Structure 1
Amino acid sequence: MTIILNSCNQPKKEDSSSKPVEFKFLLEQFADLKIMRYQVPGFESLDLKQKELIYYLSQAAISGRDIIFDQNGRYNLAIRRTMENIYSTYSGDKSSEEWKNFVVYLKRIWFSNGIYHHYGSEKFLPSFSQDYFMELVKNTDQSKFPVRPGQSVDQLIAELIPFIFDPNVLPKKVNLETGTDLVKTSAVNFYDGLSEEEVEGFYKGMAQPNPQEPLSFGINSKLVKENGKLMEKVWKIGGMYSSAIEKIVFWLNKATEVAENEQQKQWLEELISYYQTGDLKTWDKYNVLWVSDHISNVDVVNGFIENYEDPLGRKATWESVVDFKDIEATKRAETISANAQWFEDHSPVDPGFRKKQVKGVSAKVITVAQLGGDCYPSTPIGINLPNADWIRKEHGSKSVTMENITYAYDQAALGNGMLEEFAFTAEEQELAKKYGSLASNVHTDLHECLGHGSGQLLPGTSSEALKNYQSTLEEARADLFALYFIMDPKMVQLGVIPSEGSAKAEYNAYIRNGLITQLCRIERGKNIEEAHMRNRQLIAKWCFEHGKESNVIEFVKKENKTFIRINDYNKLRELFGKLLAEIQRIKSEGDFHAGQKLVEDYGVRVDQQLHKEVLERFKKLNVAPYGGFINPTFTLIENDGKVKEVKIDYPIDYATQMMEYSTNYSFLPTWN
């Protein structure tokens, strides 16, 4: 008897066993978003045990989806489930313009894991009226709304309406505006009823048991006040988010049964122990074991990892990426990591801020098999972990470049007109077409593999000293490391890039994006909120200002359109080096005020006249500035209780996958 266990039962899909067809990368666009698919080349060549491992890890990756919704705002699950009930059971007209607007609003909620823009952090509002919303509610199955115990549907809707329709009620997921209480004015669900001063005081009062190996206090908990006393609600089995974490652990336990080797099994078991206890020492032990595993082909990131969504840079969102090594492409990354000490020794930063001995740097190019949590649907293109500075210094770091993801982005963007519209010359366009994809991947390799792992803190400097500016400055530091070294002759000598043309293509793309094209992602009249975007403008604008005397970068006009032109690539590299040296000093010394000034002076404010022009030019292209992916699905094929094969399929419908996840992988209560 053959039993098929389908991890994502999608009615619309392209069967991998059907005759070859052209793979469709771009599926749909709405609002400022595009939905894409990615391929998983090489999956069929894995052995059965590795395929089964990927299946179990993928199940764990999508089992934590509710967690990121709740972390992004305490009303997100209630709003999502309310909208999904309407989407599924509304009995009225589904052909009207307002219904279409309703569907777009729900799709945006799915994409952003809540009601706040995934990148800009501002609350997005429905394009349908409150009266229409009430009509939808009235004609929807009343028994399936996510009411609290003893609450009526009318009371639920009255509670939710201000958070959906009022632009002044919790308007930002993460507020980084200087001079405000960052905790009180941020909607993220990491703190409850507290001020920034109270939070800072709570964690300052926690003594590190071993200052040489500081624990990541607060990374896996919500801080609340109960009966006048501050306390942490830890995210673990038996604690907050327990029902979802139990499912994650169930699948991780299954994964240990088919681990590739004892080392991999050991760190998987340690991760399970961490989820069971919430113990931060166990978290560090897991990270040390994980970062030391250089032999496994299949790998996973799973946990409360990045702190970008906490205005204080302490709490971490839940995420997961399941992957396996791209053997051929990894040769490039391994060449870079094998020369890590050379790059560190030749860094333009003060010698006192360099690592005397670079340890445990590993880099690989991966094929992503599944995305989850804060990495889904929108995903990074590279990762460098773990984040703890002491582990990176003593045990090294793992860096990955997600090449099948970058390939999917490139394929979906073919012919969209962006390059032709914003590149100044035909020569610039040709450099981009010839070298752009490789140059971007090499930048990511350098950024993740060496940039984040470079340098060191001075004794006594806290890794949290830069507070809400930490994320922007850390991304700038890693970008500058990549930009400085991609132009170094060593890169050609090592065979990583074919010629200096690759570096020029990357310089053109980076400065063009930092000064001009990323403005298409910002709402008219707004400044920059997101850490990566602040970082890019900071670098580009600082180099423009400090290179004015030599006219290193200039704004030029052609046919009443604004472009940038780099006049001296070598001097631009020198500027990258000078800024890298300063930002490394800021990090090494924990110079908060210098870091704050750098970000506020160069990374935040937008030239409104240029912004208006860019938005008008961009609108004519009909291109969505942000993109994300739907996941492939994996199916276990069993015979007499034994796994015989794991089948991969590529769904083609975004809404179907989202509703399937909400039906079969939604494990948290509405109110947590």
Structure 2
Amino acid sequence: MKKILTTMLIATSAVGATAQTDNFKYTDEQFADIQMLRYKVEDFDKLTLKQKTYVYYLTEAALQGRDILFDQNGRYNLRLRRAFEAIYTDWQGDRTSKDFEAFAVYLKRLWFSSGIHHHYGCEKFQADFSEAWLKDALMQVWQKKGLQSLCTADNAEALSAEAACTHFFNEIRPVIFDPAVMPMRVNQKDGDDLILTSAENYYGEGITQAEAEEFYTQRKPANDPRPVMMGLNSRLVKEDGVLRERVWREYGLYGTAITKIIENLEKAKPFADRPEQVKVIDRLIEYYRTGDLRTFDEYCILWLKDTESLVDFVNGFTESYGDPLGMKASWESIVNYKDLEATERTKKLSENAQWFEDNSPADPRFKKEKVKGISAKVITAAILGGDLYPSTAIGINLPNSDWVRREHGSKSVTISNLTGAYAKASHGSGFDEEFVIDQATRDLINKYGDNCDDLHTDLHECLGHGSGKLLPGTDPDTLKAYGSTIEEGRADIFALYYLADQKLVDLGLTPDLEAYKSQYYTYMMNGLMTQLVRIKPGNTIEEAHMRNRAFIAHWAYEHGKKDKVVELVKKKGKTYVRINDYAKLRDLFAELLAEVQRIKSEGDYEAARRLVEDYGVKVDPELHKEVLDRYARLNLKPYKGFINPVYTAVKDAKGNITDVKISYDESYDAQMLRYSRDYNTLPDIND
């Protein structure tokens, strides 16, 4: 489970600004609604050669799965990416023309989102280049770049280049240009068939939501105390009218990519920090080879128990936000090592996990009598891959299996060099002057904001996701499409509630009982107003993290109206959030946390649906327009993503690695084109 940066819209930099600290440039190019950043891999030079080599092979494994995510996000994505890259590199024409410039932005967005739908809002991109221009450009590069394999005609190899290109263009034309075709990658609209109306590639064509839900319901064993995460690593397809799973494993679906991942995991093994980590890799490889979800659980248990290794990684089918039913997992990877100094902060939280569980406002029936295996650390990211690249989380808590968490615990991370990059790129935006109500509140945020942002992430990941329990007999998939939103909301409210607790002052994690107010203000402002800059006019909120922030903020606002706990007020024609009673706001968070934990523990689908639909989906069009207009005048980009560093292995005459060099000067398009060339692991069509 991931925590997506919630205060990003405060910590953001002005267009054209260059954030540079200690001669390291954090900001980079911008396009559409995105600004690219760079992150510094602090103290990489202090690692031993063995550790550097271990990181190197793990980063190679992290990059070999890139094509998987493109295909998971939509069945046309790989073919479109390869065709468009051919135009981008080899088209001979006016590259300053309006069509080409619009095309270049489209391709950069496609790279960023690993597909043709927005990485966050899930809506399909609008193509601002013409159909005629695209067809002519394809015709020009088709034969030169050997694109015949992109054509799906039965006799494609026998067709002339012109005929094959025309067939391909006719197939992809409505996908790109018709707004009614595949409009949403993940549709969460209540009442719709969420599979038929979503463009993701986790389900074969023609499969309905009811069919998929029935398929997995029938296969769940009754009263299994340790259920596998059914459907996690497969595509559900219909063959001759019968539903079947195509499992993602070596020699199965995505097998050519998985083989490359395994090869690099094998190369990494001799350089692992500890024997326990070798066992982790071996079990992960076994899972990749068999696709057995019991083996996946065994791997997760070994992984979460390894808390001593300096270098660590995630590699696999992990999070289910991209599946409208919240079951099937996207592929992702991150390679990292401990930030030893900052980890002392999270260590204090994990050592006191039982106290936090015991003192939660939740009903005692839903609390863990004995919290097990809670570990947390602050890490330095070395590489990002799959669904963590280029847009990424700032905190992660795994594994996601409820029974594994109950019996063995979980491992949480806060990614310090990514949060640091966001912070260092934040100067001079003018955002807080525009949206924060007064100077006193801005001073509060300036004084305590960074500290409380980090603590909110720590509490969310380390303790929030690790808290509470399901009642016996509760199916962990009962909340269906609302499961991810409820779980992220639960962790957020947990963190908000405890940020105001004296316990954090006693542990030395906050300086005083004023600090939490900075997070309360920015959270409410974001949930009620400023996250709306990410929504197009007329749209509702779709993304799980945005929905959870909205339902928390709007629920607290509505339930505190009588006492005017939080208000939306006008000053000189502009709307602002004003918090009149921070203590009562905490009481509201306590009440909401108790209810959300009840929903989770009992599997109350209808209550989850009402909470999300009533408070987390709708958008006030008048307020939305105002926020968009005010934000536009600041000339900011609402989304950020990262360019990875480049690792180069220095080898001797025998092929042994003698050093690993790191550099930060690769441009965004150069990196994407290199990845497409060097990590080209899947065929164009993956059926």
TM-score, length-scaled by structure 2? 0.94
User: What is the aligned counterpart of 1:166 among 175, 178, 190?
Assistant: 178
Partner of 2:411 in structure 1? 398
2: CA distance, partners of 1:507 / 1:407: 21
By how many angstroms is 1:144 displaced? 2.8
2: CA distance, partners of 1:351 / 1:63: 46
3-state SS, counterpart of residue 139 of structure 1: helix
By how many angstroms is 1:411 displaced? 1.3
By how many angstroms is 1:499 displaced? 1.7
What are the residue-to-residue correspondences of 1:8-87 with 2, within 5 Å? 22-87=23-88
By how many angstroms is 1:399 displaced? 0.4
Q: Tell me, yes or no, if the aligned pair for 1:361 and 1:449 is still in contact at 8 Å.
A: yes
Q: Tell me, yes or no, if the aligned pair for 2:646 and 2:666 is still in contact at 8 Å.
A: no
3-state SS, counterpart of residue 629 of structure 1: strand
By how many angstroms is 1:207 displaced? 3.6
Q: Tell me, yes or no, if the aligned pair for 1:349 and 1:582 is still in contact at 8 Å.
A: yes
3-state SS, counterpart of residue 191 of structure 1: coil
Q: Deviations over 1:232-258 (max 9, x none)?
A: 000000100001111111111111111
In structure 1, what residue type is equivalent to 2:183? P
Identical-pair percentage: 54
3-state SS, counterpart of residue 523 of structure 1: coil
Residue 675 of structure 2 is aligned to residue 670 of structure 1: no
2: CA distance, partners of 1:652 / 1:572: 47
Partner of 1:106 in structure 2? 107
3-state SS, counterpart of residue 358 of structure 1: coil
2: CA distance, partners of 1:48 / 1:574: 52
TM superposition outliers: structure 1 runs of 4+ over 6 Å:
none
What are the residue-to-residue correspondences of 1:269-308 with 2, within 5 Å? 269-308=282-321
3-state SS, counterpart of residue 425 of structure 2: helix
In structure 1, what residue type is equivalent to 2:221? Q
Residue 333 of structure 2 is aligned to residue 359 of structure 1: no
What are the residue-to-residue correspondences of 1:299-318 with 2, within 5 Å? 299-318=312-331
Residue 266 of structure 2 is aligned to residue 253 of structure 1: yes
Partner of 1:599 in structure 2? 612
1: CA distance, partners of 2:651 / 2:40: 24
Q: Tell me, yes or no, if the aligned pair for 2:645 and 2:666 is still in contact at 8 Å.
A: no
By how many angstroms is 1:58 displaced? 0.4
By how many angstroms is 1:410 displaced? 1.3
**Please, which moves more after superposition, 356-365 or 409-418?**
409-418
Q: Tell me, yes or no, if the aligned pair for 1:72 and 1:173 is still in contact at 8 Å.
A: yes
By how many angstroms is 1:297 displaced? 0.7
Q: Tell me, yes or no, if the aligned pair for 2:565 and 2:584 is still in contact at 8 Å.
A: yes
Residue 146 of structure 2 is aligned to residue 144 of structure 1: yes
3-state SS, counterpart of residue 501 of structure 1: coil
2: CA distance, partners of 1:118 / 1:381: 16
By how many angstroms is 1:47 displaced? 1.0
Residue 675 of structure 2 is aligned to residue 661 of structure 1: yes
Partner of 1:643 in structure 2? 657
Q: Tell me, yes or no, if the aligned pair for 1:291 and 1:398 is still in contact at 8 Å.
A: yes
The size of the alignment, in residue pairs, is 653
1: CA distance, partners of 2:34 / 2:456: 25
By how many angstroms is 1:447 displaced? 0.1
3-state SS, counterpart of residue 664 of structure 2: strand
Residue 534 of structure 2 is aligned to residue 521 of structure 1: yes
In structure 2, what residue type is equivalent to 1:78? R
Q: Deviations over 1:549-585 (max 9, x none)?
A: 1111001111211000111111000000000000000
Q: Tell me, yes or no, if the aligned pair for 1:27 and 1:652 is still in contact at 8 Å.
A: no
1: CA distance, partners of 2:199 / 2:680: 22
Residue 428 of structure 2 is aligned to residue 428 of structure 1: no
By how many angstroms is 1:21 displaced? 6.3
User: What is the aligned counterpart of 1:185 among 193, 197, 205?
Assistant: 197
**Please, which moves more after superposition, 87-96 or 605-614?**
87-96
Q: Deviations over 1:573-607 (max 9, x none)?
A: 00000000000000100000011000000000001
By how many angstroms is 1:321 displaced? 0.6
By how many angstroms is 1:434 displaced? 1.6
Partner of 1:629 in structure 2? 642
1: CA distance, partners of 2:379 / 2:191: 42
Q: Deviations over 1:392-439 (max 9, x none)?
A: 011000000011101111112211111111100111111111211111
Partner of 2:134 in structure 1? 133
2: CA distance, partners of 1:285 / 1:208: 19
In structure 2, what residue type is equivalent to 1:478? A
2: CA distance, partners of 1:310 / 1:119: 13
3-state SS, counterpart of residue 154 of structure 1: helix
By how many angstroms is 1:187 displaced? 0.6
2: CA distance, partners of 1:518 / 1:127: 26
Structure 1: any 5+ residue segments left out of the alignment?
1-19
Partner of 2:212 in structure 1? 199
By how many angstroms is 1:652 displaced? 4.1
Q: Tell me, yes or no, if the aligned pair for 1:630 and 1:651 is still in contact at 8 Å.
A: no
Partner of 2:626 in structure 1? 613
Q: Tell me, yes or no, if the aligned pair for 1:85 and 1:144 is still in contact at 8 Å.
A: no
Partner of 1:175 in structure 2? 187
Q: Tell me, yes or no, if the aligned pair for 1:90 and 1:141 is still in contact at 8 Å.
A: no
Partner of 1:5 in structure 2? none
Q: Deviations over 1:268-305 (max 9, x none)?
A: 11001100110111100000100111110100011100
Q: Pairwise CA RMSD of aligned residues?
A: 1.1
3-state SS, counterpart of residue 368 of structure 2: coil
In structure 2, what residue type is equivalent to 1:181? D
2: CA distance, partners of 1:452 / 1:599: 19
2: CA distance, partners of 1:134 / 1:228: 36
By how many angstroms is 1:368 displaced? 0.3
2: CA distance, partners of 1:140 / 1:100: 18
In structure 2, what residue type is equivalent to 1:486? L
2: CA distance, partners of 1:262 / 1:208: 35
Q: Tell me, yes or no, if the aligned pair for 1:385 and 1:399 is still in contact at 8 Å.
A: yes
Q: Deviations over 1:328-374 (max 9, x none)?
A: 00000000110000000000000010000000000000000000000
Q: Tell me, yes or no, if the aligned pair for 2:397 and 2:411 is still in contact at 8 Å.
A: yes
3-state SS, counterpart of residue 544 of structure 1: helix
By how many angstroms is 1:61 displaced? 0.6
Q: Tell me, yes or no, if the aligned pair for 1:301 and 1:322 is still in contact at 8 Å.
A: yes
2: CA distance, partners of 1:443 / 1:60: 31
Q: Deviations over 1:420-476 (max 9, x none)?
A: 111001111111112111111100000000000100000000100000000110000
Q: Tell me, yes or no, if the aligned pair for 1:547 and 1:572 is still in contact at 8 Å.
A: yes
Q: Tell me, yes or no, if the aligned pair for 1:636 and 1:645 is still in contact at 8 Å.
A: yes
By how many angstroms is 1:635 displaced? 1.0
By how many angstroms is 1:209 displaced? 8.3
3-state SS, counterpart of residue 219 of structure 2: coil
Residue 457 of structure 2 is aligned to residue 444 of structure 1: yes
TM-score, length-scaled by structure 1? 0.96
3-state SS, counterpart of residue 474 of structure 1: helix
Q: Tell me, yes or no, if the aligned pair for 2:317 and 2:331 is still in contact at 8 Å.
A: yes
Q: Tell me, yes or no, if the aligned pair for 1:303 and 1:320 is still in contact at 8 Å.
A: yes
Q: Tell me, yes or no, if the aligned pair for 1:514 and 1:540 is still in contact at 8 Å.
A: yes
Partner of 1:504 in structure 2? 517
Residue 569 of structure 2 is aligned to residue 556 of structure 1: yes
Q: Tell me, yes or no, if the aligned pair for 1:446 and 1:481 is still in contact at 8 Å.
A: yes
Structure 2: any 5+ residue segments left out of the alignment?
1-20, 157-163
In structure 2, what residue type is equivalent to 1:144? G
In structure 2, what residue type is equivalent to 1:101? A
By how many angstroms is 1:140 displaced? 2.1
Partner of 2:470 in structure 1? 457
User: What is the aligned counterpart of 2:583 among 570, 581, 594?
Assistant: 570
In structure 2, what residue type is equivalent to 1:175? N
Q: Deviations over 1:147-186 (max 9, x none)?
A: 3463311101110111011000010001111111111111
Partner of 1:124 in structure 2? 125
